Structure 1
Amino acid sequence: MTSPAVDAPAPDLAELDLFGDDFTRDPFPWLESLRAEAPVRFDEGTGLWLVSRYRDVRRVLLAPEDFLPDNAQHAVTPLPFGVLRILTRAGFRLPPALANNGSAAHPGLRRVVTRFFNARRVTDAVPVIERIAGELLDGVREGLEESGRCDLFTSFAQVLPCRVLMELLGIDGVPPATLIRWSDASLELFWGRPTPARQLELADLVGEFHRWLTREVAAGAARPGSFVHALRDHRLPDGERLDVATAVAVCFFVFVAGQSTTGQLIATVLRHALAEPDIWSRAGSEDDLARAWVEEVLRREPPVTTWRRVAARPVELAGVRLPAGAPLLLMLMGSGSDPEVFEGPDRLCPHRANVRQHLSFGVGRHRCPGASLARTEAAVALASAARALPRVRPVAAADDPVLGLLSFRAPLRVTVETP
């Protein structure tokens, strides 16, 4: 089991930078200080109210009439004119669809998505996940035989969910590497703090992604039974057929969440399991252990670290009076380490009795519709890798890159070597 960190002085919240290296590499001391000292605190750097205690995060998520999802996908860093021009030329627009939709259209659109990720479909998809995992791990073994080292993030964790999603949703005609590049660019543009020059590069990729999605939705050639076909047939509450722009917005969210964030989860699960020889040696033969390990990682270190809401009216939260329109940042990762809910939260303890109470997939009306698939993919990935690579050991370095966006965090390198 993962041991607690050595006690260190609490960080000074006046120096908190949600994009800074100190926070990105070790956010837990900062999150602990927020919960203890300022559970609802205005952050000058982002203009957001940080909500860090479990009970407050849960309250916000379960009150969609008081805390609206409208700002969930707004760009964190303002987009300059040059970027907006690129996106406009690409026809880019994302009407409210899923995560940012509080209208009457949301339940129906959500049902379309959940039909493709329900328990039966996920169970049926396990052989597909196992087959693709096996193919990718064959390549990992070849790399290890050639050089003695391999990065499990770029060769396995990042690619597996993309290929699985493409098969499950009937997507073809585009290489997985291209979808990954488009998806990652979308995360960085809208949830990162890129330089103006980098924003222009990202906008080009996001524009390509949107044009491709629009062609897929508008072409009318989607395979019957496919995800795009189901969206094209969907009727809104007024009886009108779903418009192309909203269907594209649904696809945009599902493709990004279904591949990038799941790949980030797998990378984190593998990194922690590799650091625990007992877990790695058993995970390949104990399915319950693999699933339990995934759940504990989700509680402690989920890939989706925060999510946004906006106050619909003046409201008091944890003794702080918030005005109407106040933008909130829900610290999902901090809530999973709240000692009021989880005993010894800094330890990874498989089979923790109340682990499913975590909020890493949200709760209520906007709970992640792909939660079951993400859990299953991560558990299959861990078990498959542990069986295929029983003798590898991790190679970690202090300068290993870490994804540090406002709402997404994960290792970008999981290097292993053979003894």
Structure 2
Amino acid sequence: MLFPALDVPAPRSAAAGTGPTAGPNSPGTRDPLGLLDLFGAPFVRDPYPWLDLLRSESPVHHDPVTGLWLVSRHEDVRHVLLDPEVFLPDNAQNAATPLPVPVLRVLVRAGFTLPPALANNGTASHSGLRRVVTRFFNARCVAAAVPVIERIADELLDAARSQLDSTGKSDLFTSFAQVLPSRVLMELLGIRGIDPATLIRWSDAALELFWGRPALERQLELAELVVDFHRWLTETVNGGTAPADSFIGELTRHRLPDGSPLDVATAVGTCFFVFVAGQSTTGQLIATALRRALAETGMWQRVACEAGLAEAWVQEVLRREPPVTTWRRVTARATALGGTRLPEGAQLLLMLMGSGSDPEVFPQPERMCPHRENIRHHLAFGAGRHRCPGASLAHTEAVVALRAAARHLPRIQPAAGAADAPMLGLLSFRAPLRVAVEQR
């Protein structure tokens, strides 16, 4: 079974010092990092003080709550990503918190299994599967997709503008940022027989179940949704009805290194990963890019018309506030990293967000500077063999979405209380869950 639970102790309670006021600078704290809770409200709301503290005080830090080694310096994170022989991807999609027996029963009874396919695949089959994916996300395909992205963006923004005209307010996350990537992905990959809202619900459920810390009752609800997602994928792959030139059609014809056809379980696992990554994380990126541009004085007007600014702004958002905040690796053998000895089997959490704010690489990292000389040196999409194959499409979608929104809705501003919007706070994903705007 993929997504085995990590063997971790129970989370600390708020009474133990992880309440809303706890943080690195709490008075009387002898060991601020002892208060770190990767799922806690203080970290989710404002992770930067914690990330700064990790880089300066303990750049390869063992977190006793999760059992993970937190790697926060850009140099160390990049080193790990570029050495897949020592730092294996095998744990990249393991469940972040233990799945209780009742939840495991739901998954097992439904035959839920996802063999290594892409992000967690260190075997010889990885390169071939990756080639199938990149056929749909290469530069030519992304360039050809721009008119599709623009058309869908225009449709969604027309609806948002109508809502603003009638009510004076709108949420650009649920009406635009969340929906655009799903519809684009469905058109590009030839996904049929499902509506975008269902695909979004399934994808978000997978992220929360496997990367979150939900209560048991919520885990059971999420498991049922994930099972529905997996069942639909399995039936679609098995059905033989997918068009030959669709993503699923290409997978069903793929051959493994030994010449054997790709098994259904691995094809389903590949689809599962691509469908989730191709819509949820891109929607999170768009939401963050919109929110940050609206909050920056004069930026909303400028990105609508200034050549190259939307592209640069999205790159800076990826550096400072990427939707994929962390990723995992496991050591193949005992090794050293950043001056720290790691045993064989050490579970690493690469702080991608922290690496983008490393002052040794990005001067004044807290400032949004869309024309930095080294703006593309961030690690938001990873690096090396497992760099995100959909990086170009995600960036392009965010650029088109930002520019289109600024042009269609020139008179909007953040709604009252927008700065306090709830945040998605999973182990590896962080983004605003609402982008509330109103007419000026």
The normalised TM-score by structure 1 is 0.97
Instruction: Give the secondary-structure state (helix, strand or coil) at the position aligned to 1:284.
Output: helix
Amino acid at match of 1:131: R
Deviations 1:242-262 (A, max 9, x none): 000000000000000000000
C-alpha separation between the residues in 1 aligned to 2:244 and 2:114? 25
Displacement of 1:77 in angstroms is 1.1
C-alpha separation between the residues in 1 aligned to 2:250 and 2:109? 28
**Which stretch of the first structure deviates more once superposed, 215-224 or 381-390?**
215-224
**Which stretch of the first structure deviates more once superposed, 395-404 or 64-73?**
395-404
Structure 1 residues 398 and 273 mapped into 2: Cα distance closer, same or farther (>3 Å)? closer
C-alpha separation between the residues in 1 aligned to 2:393 and 2:130? 15
Matches within 5 A, 1:129-144: 129-144=149-164
Deviations 1:346-394 (A, max 9, x none): 1111121101111110000000000000000000000000000001011
Matches within 5 A, 1:24-35: 24-35=44-55
Aligned to 1:227: 247
Which of the numbers 394, 398, 403 marks the counterpart of 2:424?
A: 403
Structure 1 residues 398 and 127 mapped into 2: Cα distance closer, same or farther (>3 Å)? closer
- 2:246 is the alignment partner of 1:209: no
Which of the numbers 322, 326, 342 marks the counterpart of 1:322?
A: 342
Runs of 4 or more above 2 Å deviation: 8-11, 396-399
Paired residues of 2:24 and 2:33 also in contact (CA < 8 A):
no
Displacement of 1:398 in angstroms is 5.5
Which of the numbers 178, 182, 195 marks the counterpart of 2:198?
A: 178
Amino acid at match of 1:402: M
Matches within 5 A, 1:5-44: 10=25, 12-44=32-64
- Identical positions, percent: 71
Displacement of 1:397 in angstroms is 3.9
C-alpha separation between the residues in 2 aligned to 1:398 and 1:119? 36
Aligned to 2:183: 163
C-alpha separation between the residues in 1 aligned to 2:315 and 2:25? 28
- 2:358 is the alignment partner of 1:338: yes
Matches within 5 A, 1:306-321: 306-321=326-341
Paired residues of 1:280 and 1:386 also in contact (CA < 8 A):
yes
Higher relative CO (CA 8 A, sep ≥ 6), structure 1 or 2? 1
Amino acid at match of 1:406: L
Aligned to 2:115: 95
C-alpha separation between the residues in 2 aligned to 1:67 and 1:9? 29
C-alpha separation between the residues in 2 aligned to 1:399 and 1:125? 34
Deviations 1:304-347 (A, max 9, x none): 00000000000011111110000000000000000111111111
Deviations 1:164-200 (A, max 9, x none): 0000000121110000000000000000001011100
Displacement of 1:89 in angstroms is 2.1
Which of the numbers 228, 250, 264 marks the counterpart of 2:270?
A: 250
Paired residues of 2:36 and 2:43 also in contact (CA < 8 A):
yes
Aligned to 2:379: 359
Amino acid at match of 1:418: Q
C-alpha separation between the residues in 2 aligned to 1:55 and 1:33? 16
Where in structure 2 are there 5+ consecutive unaligned residues? Answer: 1-22, 27-31
C-alpha separation between the residues in 2 aligned to 1:199 and 1:233? 35
Aligned to 1:4: none
C-alpha separation between the residues in 2 aligned to 1:122 and 1:170? 15
Matches within 5 A, 1:235-274: 235-274=255-294
Displacement of 1:143 in angstroms is 0.8
Paired residues of 1:57 and 1:331 also in contact (CA < 8 A):
yes
Where in structure 1 are there 5+ consecutive unaligned residues? Answer: 1-7
Instruction: Give the secondary-structure state (helix, strand or coil) at the position aligned to 1:45.
Output: coil
C-alpha separation between the residues in 1 aligned to 2:306 and 2:108? 51
C-alpha separation between the residues in 2 aligned to 1:10 and 1:39? 18
C-alpha separation between the residues in 2 aligned to 1:127 and 1:139? 19
Displacement of 1:9 in angstroms is 6.9
Deviations 1:102-143 (A, max 9, x none): 000000000000110000000000000000000000110111
Aligned to 1:112: 132
